[in-house]
Amino acid sequence: MRYIPHTSQDIEEMLTAVGVDSVNDLFAVIPDECRLDRALDLPEPLNEWELTANVQDLAAKNGTTAHGASFLGAGCYDHYVPAVVKTLMSRAEFVTAYTPYQPESSQGTLQAIYEYQTLVARLLGMDVANASMYDGASALAEAVLMALRIKGGGVVAVSRAVQPQYRDVVATYLEPGGFGVVELPVASDGRTDLSALSGIDKPAAVVVQSPNFFGCIEDLKAVARAAHKCDALCITSFTEPLAWGILKNPGGFGADIVCGEGRSFGLSRYGGGMSLGMFAAKREFVRSMPGRLVGKTVDREGQRGFVLTLSTREQHIRREKATSNICSNQSLCALGAAIYMACLGKTGIRELARINVNKAAYLKDQLTSAGCEIPFSAPTFNEFIVRYPAVFDLAAHPDFTLGIPLGRWYPELADCHLVCATETASKHTMDSLAGEVAACRKR
């Protein structure tokens, strides 16, 4: 009963109510050749403590950062999460809150979203931010669709240095509409080669990521200038929002739309999730933004109140008027990010960003001294590309997760890894990795 709540009597009553004789009749529309005609091949059932022990044994086979050093990044970064974030996020009024359709009974949730929007807009240097989106990849895809709406169609120029999985999501979104995507190549220093724009006829948008997938910091001033010169919107994406704690924000360089992944702000990695899509734009484009926007107003008694000022998704308005049909906000995740940003403050975020820069620079110097090659010369934030010496056997060092191999997406970098160092990387761990590399070259 704990795992299968419906009794035989429950099932009989439901079948009678819908007018069929058996559960199988509910699937009669599925051809016989597509249906399994035997019982599932499952092991014998376990009691609760046996099941718990079995799951723990399976979990013990997974490698975790608790049992080794990880230098993985590429959009999912190992950051310390202050205890206050998890504590406040776990309060029942936030965890159980649903979409705030009724503002009179959802003032706490609406205010939290409003504070989040304000903090994101300030962080990114933009006029307005929405209530958040699913993740960084879908936020970028929605940004591209927004640009196409504003420009009335056309092609989109996307840097090859944008996170590869983000580019896949963009292509998936655009394919049904027949919109074209043109890739901008990567220059020898690891940044986007903007000269390729001259060969593209009237692009609707130019998309770059900064810091890009290789960790390189793009010249956003040059990107915005090049985009606007060909009458395209400038879209800046990111996977590491912490970078804007020390770098000049995209809005300061003239970006039209800024979007990316906000998981670094107070959200643990949890094996790949949960995620948070940040999305902001210039005020002039607010009517074309996807998702929802919380605003502040006053009631008839002059008291401050919060409302859904804009809500242009398909569930709220006529389909032909909607800006998106899949853009629900991540309220709890956005709350966590807001708590994190408020907890650290501008000074704390800047200091943490500086620590990340310094940690990565130290690791880069140590690996270079140990005999590794750094292919790209552009300045980086907290990750970079490294080419380990040929004599260094990566498989012989199970205590280190030595970065992400790049051959899957960049054949020309098949012998390279993307390495990341955040505030959680200790000097001892970084020295140990460099020492292992140096020792292999001396053998």
- For the domain that residue 263 is a member of, what is the CATH number? 3.40.640.10
Position 318, amino acid: R
| CATH code for the domain in which residue 355 is found | 3.90.1150.10
Last residue of a domain, one of 306, 341, 376: 341
420 shares a domain with 291: no
Q: Is residue 140 part of a domain?
A: yes
Range of the domain at 153: 83-341
Distance CA 126, CA 120 (A): 8
Last residue of a domain, one of 295, 311, 341: 341
Closest to 340 measured CA to CA, from 85, 78, 90: 85
Contact 202, 154 (CB under 8 A): yes
Backbone angle region of 126, left / alpha / beta, with phi > 0 → left and psi within -120 to 50 → alpha: beta
Indicate the number of domains in the chain. Answer: 2
Quote the pLDDT of residue 60: 87
Say what the pTM is: 0.86
324 shares a domain with 235: yes
Quote the pLDDT of residue 440: 85
pLDDT tens digits in sequence order for the chain, 443 residues long? 566 678 889 999 999 999 999 998 999 999 989 988 888 998 898 999 999 999 999 988 887 766 678 899 999 999 999 999 999 988 888 877 666 667 777 888 889 999 999 999 999 999 999 999 999 999 999 999 999 999 998 999 999 999 999 999 999 999 988 899 999 999 999 999 999 999 999 999 999 999 999 999 999 999 999 999 999 999 999 999 999 999 999 999 999 999 999 999 999 887 767 899 999 999 999 989 988 889 999 989 999 999 888 876 655 566 666 677 666 678 889 999 999 999 999 999 999 999 999 999 999 999 999 999 999 999 999 999 999 998 887 777 777 788 999 999 999 999 999 999 999 999 999 999 999 899 887 76
257 shares a domain with 280: yes
Q: Which residues contact 266 (CB under 8 A, 6 or more apart)?
A: 81, 82, 85, 89, 336, 337, 339, 340, 341, 343
165 shares a domain with 242: yes
87 shares a domain with 216: yes
Quote the pLDDT of residue 208: 98
166 shares a domain with 93: yes
Q: Is residue 401 part of a domain?
A: yes
264 shares a domain with 404: no
Distance CA 110, CA 103 (A): 7
Q: Is residue 21 part of a domain?
A: no
328 shares a domain with 434: no
259 shares a domain with 398: no
Last residue of a domain, one of 326, 341, 356: 341
367 shares a domain with 269: no
208 shares a domain with 90: yes
234 shares a domain with 351: no
Quote the pLDDT of residue 166: 97
